[in-house]
Amino acid sequence: MRLDKFLSQSFIELSRSRIKSLILSGHVTCGSKILSDPSRNVKIGERFSIMIPALKSPTPIGQKMDLEVVYEDNDLIVINKPAGLVVHPAAGNKDMTLVNALISHCGGSLSGIGGVARPGIVHRLDKDTSGLLVAAKNDFTHRGLAEQFADHSLDRAYKAIVWGVPKQKEGTIENKIGRSSRNRKKMAVVTRGGKHAITHYRVKKPIGDGGKYWASLVECRLETGRTHQIRVHMTSIGNAIIGDPTYGAKDQKKIIKTGSAYFQTVISSMNRQALHAYLIGFDHPFSGKRINFKSDLPNDMKEFISI
């Protein structure tokens, strides 16, 4: 068997092309011998080592973009992020992110605690989640905000449109969240491992037509901030967020068939998860004053709840 094929089967987290590149660049050894031929045949009893070089994060550049600035002072800035905007550069999104826009808007006055690729970033919102996000302009502010995230003294609330109407109109979901054992790209409620997560929810408005309710507007308040927390928790009680391609696809296929033609039209126009971070409140790290901000629902969600 070829060396690159053998190693790609042994190290499933690395693609065959990545393995080949590592061999050609001299990062694969057999004993003390550096290997450089991906097509070399593997022999029984041989042991191989792969040295994966540390990735170098490119320094993002400023790119002028329209930003909806809700509040700004010398220490921090609060942005109303639109759906579709990635927060910081990553694989597949090297530029035109919120970080690029912040660098253009704030210049060099952003905290460096988050690293070269994430200046000013204290917390994140998923690409297709809209709403309020606070960024720090200096390290003191960054630490102060991060401490409030850690001790849960910072207020965060979201509005979501979910499939169906939760059986309990108000409740608390307290389940651990970790990587799905079936799909490592997804998060899930888990019984072993995972991180403690608490979401408080309240039904604000049932949504439907013809006397039937197909969906509902729900307010969610976070005590913890785990990856995809609201999306996973609402799915766990049978009320996935509408438009969520990762966690709500099955519900969408099932319910969309039973709704009216108008309902189906509105559903099809929702091309992202209907989740909006509408409230954030925290103590200003310098003044100590409590400041709170709210954001109206974006137009796509407004149209949906007007059914």
Whether residue 252 sits in one domain with residue 161: yes
**pLDDT given at position 269:** 73
User: Domain boundary at 151, 167, 193, which?
Assistant: 151
CA distances from 198 to 34, 122, 175, 230, 255 (A): 50, 20, 7, 9, 28
Residue 264 pLDDT exceeds 80? no
Whether residue 81 sits in one domain with residue 175: no
Residue 111 pLDDT exceeds 80? yes
Whether residue 247 sits in one domain with residue 185: yes
| The amino acid at 256 | I
**pLDDT given at position 286:** 96
Percent of the chain with pLDDT over 90: 66
| The amino acid at 305 | I
CATH assignment of the domain containing 197: 3.30.2350.10
Rounded distance between C-alpha atoms, residue 71 and residue 117, angstroms: 23
Whether residue 265 sits in one domain with residue 120: no
User: Domain boundary at 93, 128, 151, which?
Assistant: 151
Residue 277 pLDDT exceeds 60? yes
pTM for this entry: 0.79
Angle made by CA atoms 26, 27, 31, in degrees to the nearest 5:
95
Whether residue 34 sits in one domain with residue 79: no
Angle made by CA atoms 244, 245, 251, in degrees to the nearest 5:
70
Q: Phi and psi at residue 268, in whole multiples of 5°?
A: -65, -20
Residue 151 pLDDT exceeds 70? yes
- With bands split at pLDDT 50, 70 and 90, how would you rate the model's confidence at 258? low
| The amino acid at 266 | V
- Is 126 annotated as catalytic? yes
Angle made by CA atoms 286, 159, 154, in degrees to the nearest 5:
20
Whether residue 295 sits in one domain with residue 192: yes
Active-site residue (options: 37, 66, 95, 126): 126
Q: For residue 188, give the H/E element and its range.
A: strand 187-189
Which residue bears the tokens 């210049």?
107
Q: How many domains does the chain have?
A: 3
Q: For residue 221, give the H/E element and its range.
A: strand 212-222
Whether residue 300 sits in one domain with residue 191: yes
- With bands split at pLDDT 50, 70 and 90, how would you rate the model's confidence at 56? low
Closest CA to 121 of 148, 140, 142, 104: 142
Whether residue 283 sits in one domain with residue 175: yes
Closest CA to 239 of 300, 157, 158, 168: 168
Angle made by CA atoms 140, 144, 148, in degrees to the nearest 5:
165
CATH assignment of the domain containing 39: 3.10.290.10
Which residue bears the tokens 């991180």?
195
Whether residue 186 sits in one domain with residue 165: yes
Whether residue 244 sits in one domain with residue 228: yes
| The amino acid at 1 | M
**pLDDT tens digits, one per residue of 161-185:** 999 899 999 999 999 999 888 887 8
Residue 28 pLDDT exceeds 70? yes
Whether residue 62 sits in one domain with residue 35: no
Tell me which residue range forms the domain holding 197: 154-307
**pLDDT given at position 262:** 65
User: Domain boundary at 151, 176, 198, which?
Assistant: 151
Q: Mean pLDDT across the stretch 280-285?
A: 98
**pLDDT tens digits, one per residue of 179-229:** 888 887 899 999 988 899 999 999 999 987 767 888 999 999 999 989 999
Mean pLDDT rounded to a whole number for the chain: 90
Angle made by CA atoms 285, 289, 293, in degrees to the nearest 5:
90
Whether residue 108 sits in one domain with residue 69: yes
Percent of the chain with pLDDT over 70: 92
Least-confidence region, from 40-54, 90-104, 248-262, 280-294: 248-262
